[in-house]
Structure 1
Amino acid sequence: MSAPVSEERREGARPAAPQRGAVLKAGGFVALGSSALQVSSVIAAGLFAALGPFETSGLRLLIAAALLLIVFRPRLRGRSRADWFGIVGYGVAMAAMNACLYAAIDRIPLGIAVTLDFLGPCVVALAAARHVREALCALGAFAGVLLISLGPGGYFDPLGYAFALGGAVFFGLYTVMASRVGKADGGLGDLALSVGVAAVLTLPVSLPHLASVTAPQWGLLAVSAVLGVAFTFTMDTLAGRVADARVVGTWFALDPVLGSLAGLLFMGQALTWSAGAGIVLVAASGALLVWVAGRRTPSLSPDGAVH
């Protein structure tokens, strides 16, 4: 969750720099969550041929929702309309983001799909930009995308890019809703309800496959759900508790780098020099953009995100 607004900030003064210990601790939580997320994606990708990317995403959310609802047992009564708006909106963004990302991973390398997905938080931060330097950061991120797709041996699959950019749109919405839900009193209980909403929305694709999934496939789906949803969401929430949204949002730039490493190590997806340079450029530019823009609008940065 976002840090409380200080008297200095209310008076328009420059906000104090975050403590180094909190920054490093938040980075550790985000790194653990992002690493688990990438491993989860690798496991899930191995099921695409048998189940399909949309079906795998839905089944994974179904398992994660059951686990989180049992563990946190969120209350249903006593919530305002605004609370439910945040919970449902968060779940909608989560379901669409996961489905688009998995469909992209089915067509383009993991590192590139995750990099394009990271453009969502960048655009959200850019929407709050007020200075030229923030616009330059955005241009740097988009230049990185061009390096990935148009450089020597560029990885451009039109449908894969379309799914990845669709995922970025919903990741942008996710960052806004994550901030809203993260500030609510329900905590991880609200998160569990949002995952439940995402699971319900994906039932049309997951339900028809329940009877045909084999025991080994259920095992892989369970591991992917625990790592990529339950564990990652918990790590992101802990990061949001020890540092403000600007810090956490900046650390999410680890996703493209760790996604590329996971694709290389576990899926044999070697990247060209131009794609590697583009991923680094997107991650660095996006991190700087979220950091600078978040100094004035921390609520627009991811503070409890998941990929």
Structure 2
Amino acid sequence: MLLVLVGSLGMQLSAVIALGLFDTLGVLGTSSARLAVAAVFLLIIFRPRLRGRSRREWISIILYGAAMAAMNGFLYLAIERIPLGIATTIDFLGPCLVALAASRRLREILLALAALAGVALIAGFGGPFDTLGLIFAAAAGACFGLYTLLAARIGQSSGGLSAVALSVAVAAILTLPFSVPAVPLIRPEQWGLLVLSALLGTALAFTVDTMAGRLTSARVLGVFFAFDPVLGTLLGVLILGQVLTLPASLGIALVVAAGAGIVWFAGKQR
């Protein structure tokens, strides 16, 4: 729980920092440059071997990297348009849907309806949120679901943290078309913010999530990922001044509670 909490805090703080780079680097340029910086740090620290890995392990590494790249890109496109708490709440639906797909019991279905009611409160009564921003957040959620499954698989594999370094490198390679044009635009005073954002939201977050995956299952990880919308909402209010309406706040609470219940009960049944 503490590992996932640290990862969630790093991810949300990183998003707050990255918002200040959007005007200069663009949304996808910022996300991609962070991945590139984090990949360099992780490759230096863990020095992963390339030989001796099975085909199955390489497939997991590549999929994990692709999920990282897509999740980060879509989430950043979302937070450019909608409040951080709203984006991370919609994002959290990804692990919930993965768990729901494995269960057809009435209890999980009712919890899913409660989560959808929470989304309705957010989107319908929470304020005039940008539709495209909500779509980007939903796309990030789909990638988050895959990330949750792969975090547990990579964490419990023999590759461990060295495999994480390779996955982040894969994510950085996949996003080179965005990071290469962005790097020359970085001003000297912005490098510190970029490196800090990369270390908190990518190197630290992905590493501790994988460490947590070594200690527990995707089911428990999915429950603990409910930290993301809670911390995103708090940091959005405290640091960014993104005050949410009462219906939106209730919707976030409903999604977090119902989503955690879905993941827990569905995983218990399996």
Asked if 1:161 is matched to 2:122, the reply is no
Q: In structure 1, which of residues 11, 14, 38 is the aligned counterpart of residue 12 of structure 2?
A: 38
Asked if 1:126 is matched to 2:100, the reply is yes
Query: 1:250 & 1:225 partners in 2: Cα distance?
Result: 25
Contact 1:87 1:181 in 2 (8 A): yes
Residue 291 of structure 1 is matched in structure 2 by 264
**Residue identity opposite 1:275 in structure 2:** A
**Residue identity opposite 2:261 in structure 1:** L
Three-state SS of the structure 2 residue aligned to 1:229 is helix
Three-state SS of the structure 2 residue aligned to 1:74 is coil
Three-state SS of the structure 1 residue aligned to 2:255 is helix
Asked if 1:197 is matched to 2:170, the reply is yes
Asked if 1:106 is matched to 2:83, the reply is no
- Farther-moved stretch of structure 1 (228-237 vs 268-277): 228-237
Deviation at 1:194, TM superposition (A): 0.4
Q: Percent identity?
A: 58
- Farther-moved stretch of structure 1 (237-246 vs 139-148): 237-246
Residue 247 of structure 2 is matched in structure 1 by 274
Q: In structure 2, which of residues 117, 121, 132 is the aligned counterpart of residue 147 of structure 1?
A: 121
Contact 2:220 2:264 in 1 (8 A): yes
- Farther-moved stretch of structure 1 (180-189 vs 198-207): 180-189
Higher helix share: 2
Query: 2:93 & 2:196 partners in 1: Cα distance?
Result: 27
Contact 2:156 2:213 in 1 (8 A): no
Query: 1:77 & 1:55 partners in 2: Cα distance?
Result: 32
Contact 1:134 1:289 in 2 (8 A): yes
Q: In structure 1, which of residues 117, 120, 126 is the aligned counterpart of residue 91 of structure 2?
A: 117
| Cα-to-partner distance string for 1:248-281 (whole Å, 9 max, x where unaligned) | 3211111111100010111110000000000000
Residue 237 of structure 2 is matched in structure 1 by 264
Three-state SS of the structure 2 residue aligned to 1:210 is helix
Deviation at 1:182, TM superposition (A): 2.2
Moved over 6 A (4+): none
Q: Which of 1 and 2 has greater Rg? A: 1
Contact 2:103 2:269 in 1 (8 A): no
Alignment of 1:212-251 (within 5 A): 212-251=185-224
- Farther-moved stretch of structure 1 (228-237 vs 118-127): 228-237
Q: Which runs of 5+ in 1 are unaligned?
A: 1-26, 298-307
Deviation at 1:42, TM superposition (A): 0.1
Deviation at 1:34, TM superposition (A): 1.0
Query: 1:255 & 1:106 partners in 2: Cα distance?
Result: 17
Contact 2:118 2:255 in 1 (8 A): yes
Contact 1:101 1:163 in 2 (8 A): yes
Q: Which runs of 5+ in 2 are unaligned?
A: none
Specify whether residues 182 and 238 from structure 1 end up closer, same or farther in structure 2 by C-alpha distance, changes over 3 A only: closer
Deviation at 1:205, TM superposition (A): 0.6
Residue 93 of structure 1 is matched in structure 2 by 67
Residue 48 of structure 1 is matched in structure 2 by 22
Deviation at 1:112, TM superposition (A): 0.3
Query: 2:148 & 2:207 partners in 1: Cα distance?
Result: 16
Q: TM-score, normalised by structure 1?
A: 0.85
**Residue identity opposite 1:66 in structure 2:** V
| Cα-to-partner distance string for 1:262-305 (whole Å, 9 max, x where unaligned) | 101111100000000000000000001111111144xxxxxxxx
Deviation at 1:82, TM superposition (A): 1.0
Q: In structure 2, which of residues 16, 34, 37 is the aligned counterpart of residue 60 of structure 1?
A: 34
- Residue correspondences, number: 270
Specify whether residues 242 and 93 from structure 1 end up closer, same or farther in structure 2 by C-alpha distance, changes over 3 A only: closer
**Residue identity opposite 1:230 in structure 2:** A
Asked if 1:138 is matched to 2:112, the reply is yes
Deviation at 1:216, TM superposition (A): 1.6
Contact 1:29 1:239 in 2 (8 A): yes
Query: 1:109 & 1:128 partners in 2: Cα distance?
Result: 31
